[in-house]
Amino acid sequence: MSDGLGGSGDRARDGAFRGSLEQYRTVMNAIDDGIYRLDADGRIVAVNDAVLEQTGYDRRDLLGEHFSVLVGEDDVARLERELDDRLETGVDPDATFDLAIEAADGDRVPCEVRFSVLEADGEFDGVVAVVRAVDEESERDRLDSIWETYESISSVIDEADVGVFVLDESSDVVWADETVETYFGVDRRDVIGRDKRAVVEETIRDRLADPEGFAETVLATDDDAPVEQFEFRVADGPDREARWLEHRSKPIESGRYAGGRVELYYDVTDRKRSEQAHQESEQRFRSLVDAVDEYAIFRLDADGRVVSWNEGAKRIKGYESSAIVGEHFSTFYTDGDRADGVPERNLERARTEGTAEDEGWRVRADGSRFWANVTITAIREDGELQGYAKVTRDMTERREREQQLQRERDLTERILETSPVGIAVVDPDGVTSRANERMTALLGVSPDESSGYATSQRDMYDAEGRPLPVEERPAARVFETGEPVYDREIRLDRADGSRRWLSINAAPIGADGKPVEQVVVTATEITDLKELAKRRKQELEDRESELAAVRLATNLLETGDRPVDELLAEFVSELPRAFRYADRVATQVSVGDHEAVTDGRGSFERRITTRTSTASGTPIRIDVGFVEPPPEDEPEPFIDEERDLIDTLATLMKFHFERREYIDELQAETRRLEQFAYAASHDLQEPLRMVSSYLQLVDRRYADALDDDGREFLGFALEGAERMREMIDGLLAYARVKTRGDPLERVDLEAVFEDVCSDLEMRIAATNADVSAEPLPAVAGDESQLRQVFQNLLENAIEYSDDTPRIRVSAERRESEWIVSVSDDGIGIESEERDQIFEMFQRLHSREDHDGAGIGLALCERIVERYGGEIWVDSAPGEGSTFSFTLPAVDASPEG
């Protein structure tokens, strides 16, 4: 407006006015009253032509000057106070001020001033002032003229997105802008001149989402009330759009409509939608956070005090929200960590780096400790720190598993490095990723080179000495076929010119059905054995003595329960074949009291004798000699390899008989324990019957003579004797599972289930239990014992139900066995108690709550284990239990 109203193009931009610059300039210069545009610092940035006529100044003399060049100090202070009040309240009332303008020639021109506040992007951007000189006209004409002047800029106000109502002192609507028509869907001509209450009740209220609330609020405003502000929503309609409006109202303190009010309506729909979306997002987030109970998720303020608390935090840390909100988060740290300043360092690291992660011991509300993984994240808004989000996970079980795995890895590492066998892990590209020291020694590489060693770097040969292609080598074959390779003999030619023979085993590493991820290769040096075989082949090409000895040793290791005499007889008959002069050699072997001698040899000259004994002291002796002298030209009748062979066979025999003795001892101990349990439970029955009989006799004859305490004590004794009888009967049944069980035969589980239901008919009827079963198969077992299993499980299902018991029995085939399941909807079992319930005399509840001796499930387990099966339970508190056990199918029964 450099030529009309003055000021630069940048200053001409005003967010509240959307008319074009030229239209604005034309309107302003056509108005007879002076119009000033002041910036935020009070400097004149634009004036219309009327100002120049009023003051006698040239436009260039005013632009850029502070408005105080035109008014006195008192008027400046008065205008600044009114401006501060409007900025604070956000309301521009329809008010005028009387003051004097100092013209260029020094005269003071009496004027009336009316001004409005301007904003840009929510910030104060200056004012627009309308100034009219006052002459001798009547007060009415003067006010009308000023209003007409103000009317001349109403078109500009109509361009702003602000609805305006002006009320006189009688609350009649004297003016409204076009935006009001848009917002409320009304015609200004139907509103102006009517009472505000009538406009609200008859025209506006039915257009609102909450008509009662709006009417009550807007009509309750007192004429003398200070600034009024509230929000409401306009409903959608044919003549209007749904939108949120903010209502502002302030009394008019001076001027023509002093005593009235000006009401402004701002469209805040976008802000309300944003707020609502934010609230919904925050609510969804809070719901999500509260639903996650695996993690403790909570917020801290900027000082580290707890301001929110989810269910996961309650479960992990043990604090109720009311007990922890407001407390400092260092409460969760150990005394040592607090003394070392760990909480403060973690918070500072999150503040400076944005996030901080830590693992360590934390303390629950009950004082117990748990290993936690903690992440603290700083929350900022517009760069200012608002607080922190803290996520904690209980990692105690994982840490224990990691420590156990580490111990196992350490043990494995020690085993690998001390193993006399070479061990390596090979990747699909044929490169070794891990090798122990023995393997590096066998390959002839340094430990540093082993991790990058590839089998293709070294020439290999098969047992016949032919070059072995890379794709035919053990690891490559395993990667190709997925099947292990055993006892593959290969020859390595080392850099120093030496040759080594290795026996290679290779096995895949990876999940079943998936490609092989790695291959583990073991290597045992057999160079000496190969050289020995070579020498033997050269010396004794027509004999297979070493092969016979190896087969004999293998038979010894793999022998099951063959009688000792039979084993020794075979041994002495085969052993001579391992010597050069087999037809002249005789052998004698003794193990404890058992002894065998080569048939028809009688006495012979013992030339090789080896002795050893088992761990339990059983002596073992092998004697080898000649019944006929060896050839006279033989300087050494027995070579070193033959002597070593005898020592090796003696050691193998020692291992074999030690294993047999250990197994025999375990079996004997098991039989003794079973006999003891049976004898103890059987022998206790007679004295218990006597005690019980005498107690019952006392009860019948002398109960009336006893006082209340005596009868109570007698009742305790009778009850205890009955419980002891149940325990002895259960123990006796437990001991008889294997010793007194019938041979396994085909058993129809359908019939067994029906018999058990018939036996429990009274119990089922008394509890109104719903017991049903799917078709059940035939299995291999002992019918009486299987009846006991079903009876114990059904009785438990009935006993441990809160309401009407619902029990379902089903069966599922799995390869050579059946999985039978008994499900109920009872009280359930804690996870840590699932294994405990199968132990003898273990009870999870008092006898006042549930009867029983604590033997039933242990008896079920022993019966199932007799058939080579297993029993387990799937359960959760309040969700019932499913007991499952396996039984052999009739076509795959084990030995009874």
CB proximity list for 669: less than 8 A, separation 6 or greater? none
Which is higher by pLDDT, 855 or 185?
A: 185
% of the chain with per-residue pLDDT over 70: 75
- DSSP states of 179-232 as a string? HHHHHHT--HHHHTTSBHHHIIIIIIGGGBSSHHHHHHHHHT--TT---EEEEE
Amino acid at 219: L
Q: Rounded to whole angstroms, how far apart are CA atoms 831 and 846?
A: 19
Q: What is residue 545's predicted lDDT score, i.e. its pLDDT?
A: 56
Whether the Cβ atoms of residue 432 and residue 425 lie closer than 8 Å to each other: yes
Question: Residue 314 pLDDT more than 90?
Answer: no
Q: Rounded to whole angstroms, how far apart are CA atoms 748 and 843?
A: 32
Which is higher by pLDDT, 203 or 712?
A: 203
C-alpha distances out from residue 371 to 279, 395, 681, Å: 35, 5, 48
C-alpha distances out from residue 521 to 2, 426, 432, 502, 532, Å: 92, 7, 10, 11, 25
C-alpha distances out from residue 180 to 189, 223, 242, 488, 737, Å: 11, 21, 14, 97, 95
Rounded CA Rg of the chain:
52
C-alpha distances out from residue 495 to 445, 452, 457, 512, Å: 10, 18, 12, 40
Confidence of residue 82 (pLDDT cuts 50, 70, 90): confident
Among 161, 157, 202, CA closest to 175: 157
Work out the average pLDDT over 188-197.
Answer: 86
- Which tens digit of pLDDT belongs to each residue from 351-410? 999 889 988 999 999 999 999 989 898 888 888 888 898 888 888 888 888 888 788 777
Q: Rounded to whole angstroms, how far apart are CA atoms 591 and 656?
A: 11
Q: What is residue 395's predicted lDDT score, i.e. its pLDDT?
A: 85
Work out the average pLDDT over 281-307.
Answer: 70
Amino acid at 106: G
Which is higher by pLDDT, 703 or 543?
A: 703
Among 388, 392, 368, CA closest to 377: 388
Amino acid at 862: R
Q: Across 105-119, 524-538, 543-557, 711-725, which has the greatest mean pLDDT?
A: 105-119
Q: How far is CA 185 from the centre of its chain?
A: 55
Enter the pTM of the model.
0.30
3-state helix, strand, coil in the chain (%, to 5): 45, 25, 30
Per-residue tokens: 594: 């058992």
Residue pointed to by tokens 């700083």: 378
Work out the average pLDDT over 780-791.
Answer: 86
- Which tens digit of pLDDT belongs to each residue from 118-162? 877 778 888 888 888 876 444 444 434 444 444 444 555 555 678
How many Cα neighbours within 13 Å face the side chain of 453? Answer: 22
Among 125, 122, 100, 124, CA closest to 111: 100
- Which tens digit of pLDDT belongs to each residue from 206-246? 888 888 888 888 777 554 555 578 888 999 888 888 999 98
Q: What is residue 2's predicted lDDT score, i.e. its pLDDT?
A: 42
Per-residue tokens: 414: 């020690």
User: What's the mean per-residue pLDDT of the chain?
Assistant: 77
Work out the average pLDDT over 722-736.
Answer: 59
Whether the Cβ atoms of residue 92 and residue 253 lie closer than 8 Å to each other: no
Residue pointed to by tokens 């119990």: 763
Q: SS3 for 620?
A: strand
Whether the Cβ atoms of residue 779 and residue 818 lie closer than 8 Å to each other: yes
C-alpha distances out from residue 583 to 552, 640, 642, 720, Å: 18, 19, 15, 78
Q: How many other C-beta atoms lie within 10 A of the C-beta of residue 304? A: 19
Work out the average pLDDT over 711-732.
Answer: 65
CB proximity list for 540: less than 8 A, separation 6 or greater? 580
Q: What is residue 144's predicted lDDT score, i.e. its pLDDT?
A: 44
- Which tens digit of pLDDT belongs to each residue from 858-878? 888 888 888 888 889 888 888
What's the length of the chain? Answer: 896
Query: CA angle 188-231-229, nearest 5°?
Result: 85
Question: Residue 262 pLDDT more than 50?
Answer: yes
- Bridging pattern class, strands 108-120 and 123-133: antiparallel
Residue pointed to by tokens 């490095």: 417
Q: Across 331-340, 557-566, 842-851, which has the greatest mean pLDDT?
A: 331-340
Question: Residue 557 pLDDT more than 60?
Answer: no
Q: What is residue 12's predicted lDDT score, i.e. its pLDDT?
A: 35
Whether the Cβ atoms of residue 252 and residue 231 lie closer than 8 Å to each other: no
Q: Rounded to whole angstroms, how far apart are CA atoms 669 and 148?
A: 120
Burial class (CB in 10 A: 0-12, 13-18, 19+), 101: buried
Q: Rounded to whole angstroms, how far apart are CA atoms 730 and 718?
A: 18
Per-residue tokens: 839: 């132990």
Per-residue tokens: 184: 């409320």
Paired residues of 356 in beta bridges: 376
Q: What is residue 288's predicted lDDT score, i.e. its pLDDT?
A: 47
Q: What is residue 667's predicted lDDT score, i.e. its pLDDT?
A: 62
Which is higher by pLDDT, 659 or 392?
A: 392
Q: Rounded to whole angstroms, how far apart are CA atoms 743 and 783?
A: 10
Work out the average pLDDT over 28-54.
Answer: 82
Per-residue tokens: 56: 């006698």
